[in-house]
Every structure is written in C-alpha cells, then in structure tokens.
Structure 1
C-alpha cells in the first residue's frame, strides 16, 4: 500500500533554487532520469553539467535537447564518454574528472544502471555479471576514484560540501540475498556466487535487486566508518520509484509493461528525487532518500541479520575494488 500511495498519490516537489557556479556530473545522462535531472540543473543555472554516457551521439542529442528547452548556453552541457561495463573505461573517465578540465565537482549523480532479462557477461569488467558490474562494482569504483576531486572541491571552496549520490531502487528489499546462505564464508565467495552464471540464473529474479542491495550496504558501511562530522563529502542514495525510463526495456512481458502503464512516474517527476538527494545536506550522509525525503531502506538492510550481512558484503566489495585498482578504497577515508 505504501508503494501504491507513493506512486499514485505522492506529490514530489518541483526543484527550485539556484545552482549558479555549480558543476554537476550525471552518469547515464543521455536519457531518462539523468537527462531530466540535467535539464533541471540547466534550468536552475548550473555553470557546468557533464553528461557521462556510453554513446556520444546520444549524449550530444541530449545536450542539444536540453539547450533548446532551457535556453542555457552551448558551453554549459558537456558530453564525456564512460562505459560502466568496463572497469578500464571507468578508470579513464575518473582520471579525466580528477584532472584540470574541472575546477570543482559539487554534485555527482551515479545514475547509470541496467536491468537485464537474461544473464550477460561483462568481459571488459573481468567477466562479472553485467548488472553487478554496472549497478554495483563500477559505481563504487567510480565513487572511490572521483572522491579526491570532491574532497579537493570541499577544501578549495569554503562552505561547500560536495555530494556523491547513487540512484538506487526500492527493489533492494525484494531479495534476501539467497547466495549468502549457500556461499561459504570465505574471501570473495559471496560475490563469486552472485556473478556465477548458473547460480545467478537460478535466482535471476533476485539479480537486479541484489545489485542495488549491495550498493545500499556499501554506502551505509562507508558512512558508519566515516561520519559527516569528519568526512568532507556526502554519500547518499536516491530512490526515484518506478519511472517511465529506458531501464527494464529488455523485459518482454506484458505484465511488466502493464504495471508501468498504470503506476510509473514520468522521468521528469522521478528526476526530482535525484535533485533532492543532491541538495539534501549532511543529514543525508549514508542515508536512503525516497519520495524527496530522507527515509530508511528495507528490513533486509536494517535488521540484525542485515547488519551482519552488510559487513560481509563490504569486506568482499573492498577486496574486489582493491583487485581492480590497489589502494583505491583508501579514498573513502578522511
């Protein structure tokens, strides 16, 4: 009933305020939620908006559409390439973010995501399952890699507290992470089970929720270790609800599309939740934002069992990120 009320009756506030002088990066910025969030930021006067996209042609189409609808200048919206299904591409993109092209990064929306109907092997991401690579591992790798730039922004611009916000999903509560019951409690065993083709296909309905659940665990684990009192960057999660975006386009079932037709928000309305998380402030550090409010995640996260599982997940994610780029998780410390 809460979901139905949220989707059908809840009115989300239209973004207002000024983003003059602000630099904002949005992955998955060429369509859906990311594009509509970028349109809001352009309308509200952002100095620079980077659309981080896999397809540059689609990115430039989005740029021109945003410019035409908002009247922002041609230098405001930039299009940079990143393929979240490639850890090397994520590393190259982050190196560019941390370079001299950007003098500051105020808000970073890690919004790119996948919802696949069948198992896919991300060969440029170590052979990991594609949704896990894009929705979880690459997203956390990107967070770690750009953290120095966000910290630099905080240090050089007094009073600025940069935000790294991950677009999540309420579906994180639709799984109990079944692999945790079967995987041996040895290093890397849980992530290995989640990425394993046979195991993933056995629990395929859980795979997308799992990819979102693990990022919820990770953000909470980081914030628990480094509170907003000591950490110069805010990390949070934004749940836009069910929206008419391209996410889930691979699902062929009529039932799924019927549900979307009845319940889904427009991408513009859903994008308002991203702007809320981007401006939510230090009280949102490590928190789950839902319906433009600071909320709580599902009980699979907040229960006593969830707290234990969070530690196991975090330890394995740290090991995974370190295997991709040694020392990178040190960026999550103050």
Structure 2
C-alpha cells in the first residue's frame, strides 16, 4: 500500500476520478497575450499549446530541448489549429542545465515585450539514479531548475502586470501522486535536499522520488504565493495543477508492468489532461497558492495541510533559496 494518504478509500477515489471525472474544455481567452509552455513539443504540453493558440494567444513560445522536435510539433500545431505560423517561436531550454535555464530567462527578458503565462510543464520520472548538476536528476529537473526558471521570470511577469494592467499566471504542473508519499526526508537533520541526494539512503525508495518532487512543488507554490502577496492583491497568480494519469511521454522511462497496466486501464488522453494545465493558466485570484484538480481548487495532501505542514513548507523554501542563490546570486529578491 502506498504511503501518505494512500488508503483504500483514497485509491478508490483516484480510480473513480480517472474513469469518470471530466475537466471541462477551457473557454477563457489569451487574446493579445504571450504564453510560454515548457515541454510543449509532446504529450500534455503539446495539447496545452494547441488550446493556448485556439484561445487566441498573440505569441506562443515553445520551450523545448530539441529544435528539430520543436519544428515537427510546430507543424502539427499549425495544421491542427490553422494559426499563423509567425505566432509560434521555438526556444531551447534544458532543465538539466542551470546555464540553459538562465540563458532562456535572459533571452525572454530581452526579446519579449510581455509574458502573460509561464506554464511549467516539463518534468522527468525515472526509476534510475542519475546525477545532474548538484542533485539527483529528478530533484534538479522537477524542483531546482523548475523554480530557478520561475524566480528568474518573475520580474518580467510582474512588469507585465504593471504595464498592461493584467494578472499574469505562473502555473506548475504537479501530480496527485504527491498524496502517496510520507515524505520522511522532511525531518532529516542533514537537510531535505542533502537527504534526497544521498544515494545510499535513497536507492531503496527511488520509486517515491517522482511523487516526492511533486509534493515539494506543492509546498513551494504555497510558500511562494504567500510571500508574494495575498489572494486579493496578487499581481502574479501562482498555482499548481494536476493533470492526472495520462497517456503522455512522462512515463517513457518507467517500463514496469504496473505502469503499463495502470495506463491501459485508467489513463486519460493527453488532451483531457491538458485541460487541467489550461485551467491553471487561466485561473483567477481564487487559485493563487492553490492546488487544482479537475479544473477546481482542491485540498492537497495531509502532509501539506496537516500538523507540521507549515513548518515543512518553510524549511523546503529556505533550503531551495539557499541553492538558488548559489546559482543566481540575488534571485530571492525577485519575489
């Protein structure tokens, strides 16, 4: 049985949501806006890109690792939406490289007049232990680089809010798997990141690594939003959204029989899952600092909102900022 809130009752609700839950197709508008989606050449990001364009965005930045794959995806999006090819630009970003993330943010500040939506969709899930930059790979990609990009882009998002009298969105794609871990690392005396990066202690729990990084995202979104502003006065709306189990490229490194059976029986299409991404990207002030599921604000895991959750949230945030300050000195002032 999974940890965290992974009781039989919770698992039954999950199965019911996968089989019968429906997120409405998005009906908002991105007219005149600039939208950036990471990992938008495939799966959820690709489907979300089509929605962003169909909802009228003026400029779409496809943030991807491979230009060649980006070009193929761009052609498919143009064919599907009938949009003007000029509104889509392909920019490279590699979340395994801090320099790549910083270069992307520098380019965005220099070349873009405005940023209305930064939808952080790119992530990695694996059963293998790999070391990238200064962390285990999933920690680097799903947490450190993801929030490095967010903090580097915040000044532009805030400037857009002021200049165009709008409410930009900073949306993170998280996962309902965050309900299924106990997060014992939160109490590690050596520090949460140090504990996660200890290979000898982590290998036996490697299957928990992806949901743990998604749980960390939920904590960090809540703390970022709280430190930025209240819901009533938010200049930038920060939230996170759960697409559910989908037929996407995320599980390409997970080839276990359990994953294949679960996807065969329960997975949503990437299009259905992407509706949740857009729900976050068009979310109102009520979504600031919140976790969304099926297009609505929901309560996250007990480890987040229960006893000790507030203290864990602050601890993760402080540890992350110490790491980010080493990568980009002064970045904490961007919030």
Measure, in 1, the Cα distance between the counterparts of 2:156 and 2:321.
20
What TM-score do you get using the length of structure 2 for normalisation? 0.94
Q: Which of 179, 186, 189 is the aligned partner of 1:180?
A: 186
In structure 2, the residue matched to 1:155 is 162
What TM-score do you get using the length of structure 1 for normalisation? 0.94
Give yes or no for the alignment of 1:69 onto 2:80.
yes
Partners of 2:44 and 2:271 within 8 A in 1? yes
Q: Which of 113, 119, 135 is the aligned partner of 2:129?
A: 119
Matches of residues 178-327 of structure 1 in structure 2 within 5 Å?
178-181=184-187, 183-184=188-189, 189-225=191-227, 226-327=229-330
Measure, in 2, the Cα distance between the counterparts of 1:139 and 1:94.
12
Measure, in 2, the Cα distance between the counterparts of 1:235 and 1:75.
29
- Where 2:252 maps in the other structure, the secondary structure is coil
In structure 2, the residue matched to 1:83 is 94
Q: Which of 26, 30, 41 is the aligned partner of 2:41?
A: 30
Structure 2 spans left out of the alignment, 5+ residues? 1-11
* 1:318 to partner: Cα distance: 1.2
In structure 2, the residue matched to 1:4 is 15
Equivalenced residues, count: 323
Matches of residues 95-114 of structure 1 in structure 2 within 5 Å?
95-99=106-110, 101-114=111-124
In structure 2, the residue matched to 1:144 is 151
* 1:44 to partner: Cα distance: 2.0
Measure, in 2, the Cα distance between the counterparts of 1:262 and 1:27.
28
Measure, in 1, the Cα distance between the counterparts of 2:259 and 2:122.
21
In structure 2, the residue matched to 1:165 is 171
Measure, in 2, the Cα distance between the counterparts of 1:46 and 1:200.
43
* 1:65 to partner: Cα distance: 0.3
In structure 2, the residue matched to 1:329 is 332
- RMSD value, Cα: 1.2
- Where 2:250 maps in the other structure, the secondary structure is coil
* 1:83 to partner: Cα distance: 0.2
Structure 1 spans left out of the alignment, 5+ residues? none
Partners of 2:234 and 2:285 within 8 A in 1? no
* 1:224 to partner: Cα distance: 2.1
